[in-house]
Amino acid sequence: MDQVAAPVLVDQATHTITLTINKIPYELKIQPWVTLLDAIREYVQLTGTKKGCDQGQCGACTVLVNGKRINSCLTLAVMKDGADITTIEGVAEDGILHPLQQAFIDHDAFQCGYCTPGQICSAIGLLNEGKARTKEDIQELMSGNLCRCGAYTNIVAAVQQVKDKL
Amino acid sequence: MNNETSYIGQPVNRVDGYAKVTGDAKYAADYNAGGLCYGVVVSAGIARGRIVRIDASAALQLEGVFQVFTHENVSGLAWFNMSYKDMDAPPGKHFRYLQTDMVTYSQQPVALVVAETFELARYAATLVNITYAADAHTTSLTGNLDKARPPKGKKTGFKKPANRGHFEKAFKAAQVTTDVTYYQGAEHHNPMEMHATTVLYYKNGSITVYDKTQGVLNTQSYVKSVFGLSGKKVKVLSPFVGGAFGSALRPQYQLFMAVLAALELKRSVKVMLTRQQMFSFGFRPITQQSLSLGALEDGSLQAISHKAISGTSQFEDYVENIVNWSGMLYHCKNVQQDYKLVSLDTYTPLDMRAPGAVTGVFGLECAMDELAYKLHMDPLELRRINYSVEDGSMKKPYSSKALMDCYEQAAARFGWSKRNPRPGSMKNGHLLTGWGMATGMWDAMTVPARAKATFTADGKLTVGSATADIGTGTYTIMTQIAAETLGLPIDHVTFQLGDASLPFAYLEGGSATAASVGTAVQQACLQIRERLLSLAKDIPDSPFRELSIEQITFADGKMYMSETPANFIHLKDILTLTATDAVNVTSTPLPNIFKQMKYAKNTHSAVFVEVQVDEELGSVKVSRVVSAVAAGRILNPKTARSQIVGGIVWGISGALYEESVMDHQFGRFINHNYAEYHIPVNLDINDIEVIFVEENDDVVNPLGVKGVGEIGQVGVAAAVANAIYHATGKRIRDLPITLDKLL
Amino acid sequence: MNNFTYSQATGIDNAVNEITGHEKSMFIAGGTNLIDLMKENVLHPDHLIDINGLHLTSIEFLDDGRLFLGALVTNADTAWHPEVEKKYPLLAEAILAGASPQLRNMATNGGNLMQRTRCYYFYDTSTPCNKRTPGSGCSAINGYNRIHAILGTSQHCIAVHPSDMCVALRAINAVVQVKGKAGERLIPIEHFHRLPAYTPQIDNNLAHDELITGIILPREHFNTHYKYLKVRDRASYAFALVSVAVVLRLKEGVIDEIRIALGGVAHKPWRDEGVENWLKDKPATDENFAEAADMILQEAKTFGANDFKPALAKRAIVRACREALNREI
With 70 as the cut, is the pLDDT of residue B23 above it?
yes
d(CA B667, CA B280): 12
Q: Which of A1, A6, A70 sits opposite C102 (nearest CB)?
A: A70
Q: Which of C121, C124, C319 sits opposite B617 (nearest CB)?
A: C319
The pLDDT tens digits for C124-174 are 999 999 999 999 999 999 999 999 999 999 999 999 999 999 999 999 999
The pLDDT tens digits for C184-236 are 999 999 999 999 999 999 999 999 999 999 999 999 888 899 999 999 999 99
Average pLDDT over residues B173-177: 98
d(CA B232, CA B296): 65
Residue of A15, A112, A124, A159 to mutate when probing chain B, most B C-beta within 10 A: A112
Residue A30: alpha-carbon gap to chain centroid:
20
Domain boundary among B230, B247, B274: B274
> Does the residue B9 lie in any domain?
no
So what's the pLDDT on residue A166? Answer: 86
Subunits in contact with chain A (3 or more CB pairs closer than 8 Å): B, C
Give B156's pLDDT tier (boundaries 50, 70, 90).
confident
Same domain (yes/no): B604, B730: yes
The pLDDT tens digits for B409-428 are 999 999 999 999 999 999 99
So what's the pLDDT on residue C329? Answer: 60
Q: Which of A33, A34, A55 sits opposite B275 (nearest CB)?
A: A55
Q: Kindly list the structural domains of chain C, giving each domain's residue range(s) and its CATH number in brackets, ordered by start.
A: 5-50 (3.30.43.10), 226-326 (3.30.390.50)
Average pLDDT over residues B46-57: 98
Same domain (yes/no): B477, B529: yes
Q: Which residues have CB under 8 Å from C40's CB, separation 6+?
A: A55, C123, C125
So what's the pLDDT on residue C221? Answer: 81
Complex ipTM more than 0.90, yes or no: yes
Q: Which domain holds residue B429?
A: 144-187+283-445+597-742
| d(CA C250, nearest CA chain A) in Å | 32
The pLDDT tens digits for B486-522 are 999 999 999 999 999 999 999 999 999 999 999 999 9
Residue of B670, B685, B686, B743 to mutate when probing chain C, most C C-beta within 10 A: B670
Same domain (yes/no): B416, B491: no
| d(CA A161, nearest CA chain C) in Å | 20
Same domain (yes/no): B215, B307: no
Q: Residue C236: its chain B contacts at CB < 8 A? A: 681-684
3-state SS track over B176-233: EEEEEEEEECEECCCCCCCCEEEEEECCCCCEEEEECCCCHHHHHHHHHHHHCCCHHH
With 90 as the cut, is the pLDDT of residue B153 above it?
no
So what's the pLDDT on residue B1? Answer: 64
Domain A99-165 has CATH 1.10.150.120: yes
| d(CA C287, nearest CA chain B) in Å | 14
DSSP letters spanning B502-567: SPPB--S-TT-HHHHHHHHHHHHHHHHHHHHHHHHHHSTT-TTTT--GGGEEEETTEEEESS-TT-
Exposed / middle / buried, residue B494 (Cβ in 10 Å: 0-12, 13-18, 19+): middle
Q: Residue B23: its chain A contacts at CB < 8 A? A: 46-49, 87-89, 117
CB contact under 8 A, C102 and A62: yes
Same domain (yes/no): B408, B315: yes
| d(CA A107, nearest CA chain C) in Å | 23
d(CA C118, CA B36): 35
Same domain (yes/no): B55, B122: yes
So what's the pLDDT on residue A5? Answer: 47
Same domain (yes/no): B377, B345: yes
Whichever domain contains B87, its CATH number is: 3.90.1170.50
Q: Which of B129, B673, B682 sits opposite A142 (nearest CB)?
A: B682
CB pairs < 8 Å spanning B and C? 90
Q: Residue B119: its chain C contacts at CB < 8 A? A: 1
Report the residue of chain C nearest B671, measured CA to CA.
C120
CB contact under 8 A, B679 and A143: no
| d(CA B53, nearest CA chain C) in Å | 16
Q: Of B382, B386, B290, which Cα lies nearest the Cα of B330?
A: B386
Q: Which residues have CB under 8 Å from B663's CB, separation 6+?
A: B669, B670, C120, C139, C143, C144
Same domain (yes/no): B383, B527: no
Give A2's pLDDT tier (boundaries 50, 70, 90).
very low
CB contact under 8 A, C315 and B663: no
Subunits in contact with chain C (3 or more CB pairs closer than 8 Å): A, B
Q: Residue B675: its chain A contacts at CB < 8 A? A: 55, 57
**Contact assessment for residue B244 and residue B350, using Cβ atoms and an 8 Å cutoff:** no
So what's the pLDDT on residue A6? Answer: 54
CB contact under 8 A, A111 and B193: no
So what's the pLDDT on residue A7? Answer: 58
CB contact under 8 A, C312 and B739: yes
Residue of C312, C317, C323 to mutate when probing chain B, most B C-beta within 10 A: C312
Locate the domains of chain A by residue range: 10-90, 99-165
Q: Residue B17: its chain A contacts at CB < 8 A? A: 104-105, 110
The pLDDT tens digits for A55-107 are 999 999 999 999 999 999 999 999 999 999 999 999 999 889 999 999 999 99
The CA distances from residue C296 to B271, C153, C242, C271, C288, in Å, are: 51, 15, 14, 8, 12
The dihedral built from the CA positions of residue B266, B268, B274 and B277, taken in this order, carries a sign that is positive
The pLDDT tens digits for C247-301 are 999 999 899 999 999 999 999 999 999 999 999 999 999 999 999 999 999 999 9
Give B592's pLDDT tier (boundaries 50, 70, 90).
confident
DSSP letters spanning C14-27: HHHHHHTT-TTEEE
Active site residue B658: no
d(CA B394, CA B327): 9
Task: State the total domains in chain B.
Answer: 3
Q: Where are the alpha helices (DSSP H) in B336-442?
A: 357-375, 379-385, 403-414
| d(CA C288, nearest CA chain A) in Å | 34
Subunits in contact with chain B (3 or more CB pairs closer than 8 Å): A, C
Question: Average pLDDT over chain B, rounded to whole?
Answer: 97
So what's the pLDDT on residue B641? Answer: 98
Q: How many residues does chain C have?
A: 329
Summary count for chain C: helices (H), strands (E): 13, 12
Average pLDDT over residues B712-718: 98
Q: Residue A16: its chain C contacts at CB < 8 A? A: none
> Does the residue B5 lie in any domain?
no
Is it true that the peptide bond before B565 is cis, omega within 30 degrees of 0? no
User: Matching CATH topology for A10-90 and A99-165?
Assistant: no
CB contact under 8 A, A145 and B682: yes
Q: Give B 61-90 residues with CB within 8 A of chain A.
A: 62-64
The single-letter DSSP state of residue C139 is S
So what's the pLDDT on residue C223? Answer: 87
Same domain (yes/no): B179, B204: no
CB contact under 8 A, C132 and A55: no
So what's the pLDDT on residue A1? Answer: 40
Percent composition of chain C: helix, strand, coil (DSSP 3-state, to 5): 30, 25, 50
Question: What 3-state DSSP class applies to B328?
Answer: coil
| d(CA B684, nearest CA chain C) in Å | 6
| A5 has a chain C CB within 8 A of its CB | yes
Query: What residues form DSSP beta bridges with B289?
Result: B182, B308
Same domain (yes/no): B565, B648: no
Q: How many residues does chain B have?
A: 743
With 60 as the cut, is the pLDDT of residue B684 above it?
yes
With 50 as the cut, is the pLDDT of residue A3 above it?
no
Report the residue of chain B nearest A45, measured CA to CA.
B32
Same domain (yes/no): B486, B578: yes
Q: What fold is seen in the domain A10-90?
A: Ubiquitin-like (UB roll) (3.10.20)
Q: In what order do the strands lie in the sheet with B102-103?
A: B102-103, B49-55, B129-134
| B277 has a chain A CB within 8 A of its CB | no
| B45 has a chain A CB within 8 A of its CB | no
